[in-house]
Amino acid sequence: MSTNLGPSAEPTKNPVLRFVKSVACALSGISFTFKTERHFKFHVLAAAVAIGLGLYLQLSPIEWASIVFAIGLVLISELFNTALERLCDETANGSWCELVRRAKDSAAGAVLISAAVALIVGIIILGIPLIHRFF
């Protein structure tokens, strides 16, 4: 029995074309998450604010690395959380399942921890210099 997984599942021998298709699928997943998840939108907005503040404060390369890493951590966590939630919801088929609830709660916990870490990084690298600059 064969399952049709869409155009991305069609094999191709050209490695460049395979890579391009993989990137297109990844961008589709990011786009889907941005369109459907309000928390992801919030995190993208927070990332834009952090980048803007970093430009204003003229961060050092190591500070930029820390900010970019923190942003990436949060966005990756949100993407995994969304993937797990969708998979769990489909698997549970609308019925309540303790395992699904625990899996979704754990994934949400990972997002919470990554957002807390990013907030701490932001306070240290952006918040403290801003306070010193204006007060």
Q: Among all residues, which ones are annotated catalytic?
A: 78
Task: Give 3-state DSSP helix, strand, coil % of the chain, rounded to 5.
Answer: 85, 0, 15
SS (H, E, C) 45-107: HHHHHHHHHHHHHCCCHHHHHHHHHHHHHHHHHHHHHHHHHHHHHHHHCCCCCHHHHHHHHHH
